[in-house]
Amino acid sequence: MTCVLVRYHEVALKKGNRPYFVELLKRNLVSAVKGLGLEEAKSLPARLLLRFSAGGNAEEIRRRVEGVFGVANFSFAERVPRDLDALQAKVLDALDGKRFASFRVDARRADKEFPLTSPEINRRIGAAIKERSGARVDLKNGELTIAIEILPRDAFFAFDKIAGAGGLPVGASGRVVSLISGGIDSPVAAYRMMQRGCRLIFVHFHGAPYLDGTSQEKVRQLVQILTRHQFTSRLYLVPFGEIQRQIVAAVLRPLRVVLYRRMMLRIAESIARREKAGALVTGESLAQVASQTLENMTVIEKAARLSILRPLVGMDKQEIIDQARRIGTFETSAIPDQDCCQLFVPKHPATKARLADVEHSESRLDLAAMIQLGVEKAEKEEFKFPE
Ligand code: ATP
Ligand code: MG
């Protein structure tokens, strides 16, 4: 039998809502480990316990739990009777054959009725381990940590503490629409909002019929990678080429990118309303490219009424790249593609678009019809994890 003890930090801070958050975290964990022989998922005081059938694939369980937001850390643990002698015997058994020069015991007593305090448990079990193994106690840098947890009904011990993905359980902060290009930034932005508890619906604009499908294929791969954290995803693929052609016909070159962006926001907003999503997410980072100057971002965002969340706005490119590597999206983002934003645009777009000029240009367009065209032609795709 394999037990995993899951600990949460930030979740625990949400006092009044705590049962809701814990329940959500539990549900997400159950989705994450689907197909791996889960027999029981149970709330314990300040912990969640996942119990798997014998012969569970520990490597895969570990990988799956690592992706769940709201998990501070977790351990593969053994459940033992709440009796110190029995506990000690089990710990010594489990240590048989393990080699370590130093160790520490870290007992937590969630049940204050238990007759020994945590330091007393540490001392007793520590002395027994020292005698049996000959290893020395090192409270700071012990090579091996033996974590012991005494809960009201059960006791556990574990040798490892694996860092979780942190944040809040997906779903705790509501639904948002994420504008995802095939680039490096937007998948990182999506990840960061998911980590804050948002459930994402993805929207991608592609240059069909003027460009090939490379950006769509990349975005599918990126959404599949990100779905690991929210278990199901919906992606809207919006053909944007025809809309861009209409913009190009009516608008001077320097303003085109700003108009593309405003149109993207309007279409994304329309999809957000259908999906009952409360905000839009972009991968914009201040001053990274011409469309992301303070002036242009301000003019662009005025096209939408929903809030625009920009989790990367204050990050350096290098920080974003580092995070993209850690979350596994960088390699896919780095594949060359045909990005619709480069369609019909000049080398030197306006960096300080004025709202009056932009609105004047847009007055020549039938915006409502263009939004409708985008929404109607959008294709929906569904993603699942585990696949
Ligand atoms: P990214 O690396 O995310 O493509 P970027 O640095 O290339 O970002 P821009 O091209 O200015 O920056 O795009 C800014 C943001 O606008 C993107 O992060 C994304 O949220 C949104 N966006 C841009 N192009 C598209 C697209 N084709 N489909 C959906 N969203 C897009
Ligand atoms: Mg881009």
Angle at which helix 256-274 crosses helix 355-362, to 10 degrees, equals 70
Instruction: Please give the backbone phi and psi of residue 270, each rounded to the nearest 5 degrees, phi first.
Output: -65, -40
Q: Answer whether 296's CB lies under 8 Å from 353's CB.
A: yes
Ligand 1 neighbour 179 (Cβ under 6 A): yes
Nearest-CA residue for ligand 1 atom 26 is 181
At residue 13, does pLDDT exceed 70? no
At residue 345, does pLDDT exceed 80? no
Ligand in nearest proximity to the CA of 183:
1
Ligand in nearest proximity to the CA of 289:
1
Instruction: Specify the ligand 1 atom closest to the Cα of 257.
Output: 11
Concatenate the DSSP letters of all residues of 40-103 into one string.
EEEEETTEEEEEE-TT--HHHHHHHHHT-TT--EEEEEEEE-S-HHHHHHHHHHHHTT---SEE
Question: pLDDT tens digit string along 287-333?
Answer: 877 778 899 999 999 999 999 999 999 999 999 999 999 999 999 99
**What mean pLDDT comes out for the span 11-22?**
78
* Peptide bond just before 169 cis, omega within 30 deg: no
**What mean pLDDT comes out for the span 171-190?**
96
Beta pairing partners, 275:
none
Rounded to a whole number, what is the distance in angstroms from the first to the last CA of the chain?
25
Instruction: Specify the ligand 1 atom closest to the Cα of 203.
Output: 29
From residue 41, alpha-carbon distances to 6, 22, 47 in Å are 10, 12, 11
At residue 153, does pLDDT exceed 90? no
**H or E segment and range at residue 206:** strand 199-206
Concatenate the DSSP letters of all residues of 290-344 into one string.
GGGSHHHHHHHHTT-SSEEE-TTTT--HHHHHHHHHHHT-HHHHTS----GGGTT
Concatenate the DSSP letters of all residues of 146-158 into one string.
EEEEE-SS-EEEE
Confidence of residue 54 (pLDDT cuts 50, 70, 90): confident
Distance 29 CA to ligand 2 centre (A): 33
Ligand 1 neighbour 340 (Cβ under 6 A): yes
Q: Answer whether 196's CB lies under 8 Å from 49's CB.
A: no
Q: Which two tokens stand for residue 293?
A: 């100057």
Ligand in nearest proximity to the CA of 180:
1
Distance 131 CA to ligand 1 centre (A): 61
Confidence of residue 210 (pLDDT cuts 50, 70, 90): confident
Ligand in nearest proximity to the CA of 238:
1
Query: 341, 280, 338: which is closest to 306 by C-alpha?
Result: 280
pLDDT of residue 5: 95
- B/e letters for 317-329, b = 16+ CB within 10 Å, e = fewer, are eeebbebbeebeb
Ligand 1 neighbour 291 (Cβ under 6 A): yes
Tell me the pLDDT of the chain averaged across its residues: 93
Distance 57 CA to ligand 1 centre (A): 39
Pocket probe for ligand 1: among 179, 223, 269, the residue whose CB has the most ligand atoms within 8 Å is: 179
pTM listed for this prediction: 0.93
> Interior CA angle at 68 toward 64 and 71, to 5°?
115
Q: Give CA–CA dist 266/272, Å, rounded.
A: 10
Q: Answer whether 6's CB lies under 8 Å from 164's CB.
A: yes
Nearest-CA residue for ligand 1 atom 4 is 183
Ligand 1 neighbour 180 (Cβ under 6 A): yes
Q: Give CA–CA dist 272/132, Å, rounded.
A: 62
Range with the lowest mean pLDDT among 93-97, 155-159, 248-252? 248-252
Angle at which helix 367-377 crosses helix 241-250, to 10 degrees, equals 160
What are the chain's domains? Answer: 2-163 (3.30.2130.30), 175-384 (3.40.50.620)
Distance 179 CA to ligand 1 centre (A): 7
Distance 236 CA to ligand 2 centre (A): 17
Contacts of 86 (CB under 8 A, 6+ apart): 80
Instruction: Specify the ligand 1 atom closest to the Cα of 340.
Output: 27
At residue 11, does pLDDT exceed 70? no
Q: Give CA–CA dist 278/283, Å, rounded.
A: 17
Ligand 1 neighbour 289 (Cβ under 6 A): yes
User: Which position has the token pair 């003027």?
Assistant: 210
Ligand 1 neighbour 329 (Cβ under 6 A): no
More confident residue, 212 or 1: 212
Pocket probe for ligand 1: among 185, 211, 260, the residue whose CB has the most ligand atoms within 8 Å is: 185
Instruction: Specify the ligand 1 atom closest to the Cα of 186.
Output: 3
Which of helix, strand or coil describes residue 198? coil
Q: Answer whether 92's CB lies under 8 Å from 157's CB.
A: no
* Alpha carbon 32 to chain centroid, angstroms: 13
Contacts of 327 (CB under 8 A, 6+ apart): 187, 188, 191, 225
